[in-house]
C-alpha cells in the first residue's frame, strides 16, 4: 500500500480547512479582528456570515524559510476567492511544494451558510465531501459581538501592537496593524530573545484581510495578499457543486456523520 497516497489527501484536507491565512480560508473573509479559523472534522465552524458585500479576488500565499546552511524552502498557493450577497463563499487554490509531492495540487471549498454545509471538491475524483456548517448564533456582522462572552485576556508584556492608519490597498480602504511578539532569552532554551512580527491590513467594508505578512526567525516569512478585487456579484455557479460530481458526507470520529 502506498502510505503517502493514502495519508496525503487526508492531511492536506485537514490543513487546508484549519489553517488561515496560509492556505486560504473556508470563509474567504480571512481572520480579521477577533476572527478565528474553522473547526475540526466533526462539523465546520466559521465566523460571522457577511451578507450584502459581494466580491471576488485573486489570492496568493507564499512562505519562504531559510535554513542554517543558506538553503531556502518556498511554498506557494495561488487561487481565487469569492463571496456572494447571501454570504456563500468560494475558495479554489493551487498548492505547490507540499509534503514532497511533485507538481501542483488544486483544491476547492464551497461554504454555503444558506444550506448549512461546506463542501471540499476533488477535481481528480469528481467528488464533493460535505460537512455540516455551524455559524455563531446572534452574531452582529458590524461589531463582531459573538466574542463578547469570552473572558478578557490579560495583555502580555511580550506582545506590542501598533496602528498603521488607513490607506488604499489593492483598490479598497484598509486599516493596518502590526504586532511584535518577543520570546525572552531562556524561556524555551533560546540564548537570545526571539522576535516575530505580523503586519495585517484589513478592509472594514468587505470584512476581509487584504494583505498580511508574518516574519518569524524559526519559521521564515509568510505573505498573503488579495489582488484584482472586484466588488460585483460573482457567478452563482461558483457556489454550487458541479452536476457531474458525487456528493459524499464526511465520516466523523466514531464512524458517525
Query: What rounded mean pLDDT belongs to the chain?
Result: 78
The CA-CA-CA angle for residues 28, 172, 141, to 5°, reads: 50
pLDDT of residue 138 exceeding 60, the answer is: no
Which pLDDT does position 75 carry in this prediction? 87
pLDDT of residue 195 exceeding 50, the answer is: yes
pLDDT of residue 6 exceeding 60, the answer is: no
Q: What's the CA gap between 85 and 108, in Å, rounded? A: 20
pLDDT of residue 136 exceeding 90, the answer is: no
- For residue 79, how far is the Cα from the chain centroid? 12
Phi then psi dihedrals of residue 238, to 5 deg: -65, -30
The residues with which 77 forms a beta bridge, in sequence order, are 61, 95
Q: Among residues of the chain, what percentage have pLDDT more than 90? A: 57
* Cβ-Cβ contacts under 8 Å for 256 (sequence gap 6 or more): none
Phi then psi dihedrals of residue 15, to 5 deg: -65, -40
pLDDT tens, position by position, 213-241: 999 999 999 999 999 999 999 999 999 99
pLDDT tens, position by position, 37-96: 333 333 344 568 899 999 999 999 999 999 989 999 998 888 999 999 999 999 998 876
The residues with which 225 forms a beta bridge, in sequence order, are 60, 211
Q: Which residue has the higher pLDDT, 24 or 12?
A: 12
| pLDDT band of 98, cuts 50, 70, 90 | low
Q: What's the CA gap between 60 and 173, in Å, rounded? A: 19
Q: What's the CA gap between 225 and 212, in Å, rounded? A: 7
150-171 mean pLDDT:
86
User: Hey, how many other C-beta atoms are within 10 angstroms of the C-beta on 257?
Assistant: 12
Q: Are 134 and 43 in contact (CB under 8 A)?
A: yes
For 76, the grid coordinates are 506557494
Q: Are 110 and 239 in contact (CB under 8 A)?
A: yes
Which pLDDT does position 108 carry in this prediction? 93
Which pLDDT does position 77 carry in this prediction? 87
**CATH architecture for residues 3-141+219-255:** Clam (2.50)
Which pLDDT does position 252 carry in this prediction? 64
Q: Are 88 and 110 in contact (CB under 8 A)?
A: yes
Domain regions of the chain by residue span:
3-141+219-255
CA quadruple 40, 41, 43, 47: dihedral positive or negative?
positive
| pLDDT band of 97, cuts 50, 70, 90 | low
Q: Which residue has the higher pLDDT, 17 or 226?
A: 226
CB crowding 139-174: b at 16 or more within 10 Å, else e: eebeebebbeeeeeeeeeeeeeeeeeeeeebbebeb
Residue 115, SS3 per DSSP: coil
| pLDDT band of 8, cuts 50, 70, 90 | very low
| Least confident window among 8-12, 106-110, 236-240 | 8-12
112-131 mean pLDDT:
92
pLDDT of residue 21 exceeding 60, the answer is: no
The CA-CA-CA angle for residues 155, 181, 146, to 5°, reads: 50
Q: Strands 246-249 and 127-134: what pairing?
A: parallel
Q: How far is CA 200 from CA 10, 179, 225, in A?
A: 30, 9, 10
Amino acid at each position: 500500500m502506498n502510505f503517502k497516497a493514502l495519508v496525503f489527501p487526508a492531511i492536506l484536507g485537514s490543513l487546508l480547512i484549519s489553517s488561515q491565512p496560509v492556505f486560504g480560508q473556508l470563509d474567504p473573509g480571512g481572520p480579521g479582528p477577533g476572527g478565528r479559523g474553522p473547526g475540526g472534522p466533526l462539523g465546520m465552524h466559521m465566523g460571522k456570515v457577511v451578507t450584502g458585500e459581494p466580491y471576488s479576488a485573486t489570492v496568493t500565499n507564499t512562505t519562504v524559510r531559510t535554513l542554517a546552511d543558506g538553503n531556502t524552502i518556498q511554498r506557494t498557493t495561488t487561487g481565487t476567492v469569492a463571496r456572494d450577497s447571501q454570504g456563500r463563499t468560494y475558495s479554489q487554490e493551487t498548492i505547490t511544494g507540499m509534503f514532497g509531492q511533485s507538481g501542483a495540487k488544486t483544491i476547492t471549498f464551497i461554504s454555503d451558510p444558506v444550506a448549512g454545509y461546506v463542501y471540499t471538491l476533488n477535481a481528480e475524483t469528481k467528488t464533493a465531501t460535505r460537512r455540516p456548517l455551524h455559524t455563531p448564533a446572534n452574531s452582529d456582522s458590524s461589531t463582531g459581538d459573538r466574542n463578547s462572552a469570552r473572558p478578557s485576556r490579560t495583555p502580555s508584556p511580550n506582545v506590542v501592537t501598533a496602528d498603521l492608519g488607513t490607506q488604499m490597498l489593492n483598490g479598497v480602504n484598509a486599516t493596518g496593524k502590526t504586532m511584535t511578539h518577543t520570546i525572552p532569552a531562556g524561556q524555551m532554551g533560546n540564548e537570545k530573545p526571539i522576535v516575530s512580527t505580523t503586519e495585517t491590513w484589513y478592509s472594514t467594508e468587505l470584512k476581509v484581510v487584504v494583505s498580511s505578512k508574518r516574519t518569524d526567525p524559526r519559521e521564515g516569512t509568510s505573505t498573503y495578499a488579495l489582488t484584482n478585487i472586484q466588488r460585483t456579484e460573482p457567478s452563482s455557479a461558483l457556489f454550487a457543486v458541479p452536476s457531474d460530481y458525487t456528493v459524499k458526507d464526511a465520516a466523523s470520529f466514531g464512524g458517525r456523520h
